[in-house]
Amino acid sequence: MLNDTKIKALKAKENKYHIADFDNLLLCVYPSGKKTFMFNYKCPKTLKYKRLTLGEYPILSLTNARKQKDNLKIQR
């Protein structure tokens, strides 16, 4: 499970990579150092997984990203 200290400690690598929080919430770290929250969900019509970008860290906090994820789960 992520927290602000762990997120701040993540460093950029040569390729982008994902760190999982829980319940399909991901943090994507790009080579430029940019960090964005993403949500993986299964589309009920196609039964395929899709990825939705929620926002960029630190503009979108971890708490707000979790709230957005919960709201999206209810809507889906």
Identify any residues that bridge with 29 across adjacent strands, giving them in sequence order. 17, 35
Mean pLDDT of the chain: 94
Residue 76 and residue 65: Cα distance in Å, rounded? Answer: 16
CATH number of 4-75: 3.30.160.390
Question: Residue 43: its pLDDT value, please?
Answer: 86
User: pTM of the predicted model, to two decimals?
Assistant: 0.91
What is residue 62's predicted lDDT score, i.e. its pLDDT?
A: 97
pLDDT of residue 44: 85
Average pLDDT over residues 15-39: 96
pLDDT band at 8 (very low <50, low <70, confident <90, very high): very high
Q: Domain-by-domain residue ranges, the chain?
A: 4-75
| Cα gap 69→52, rounded to integer Å | 10
Tokens of 3: 């927290």
pLDDT digits (tens, 9 = 90+) for 37-71: 999 998 888 999 999 999 999 999 999 999 999 99
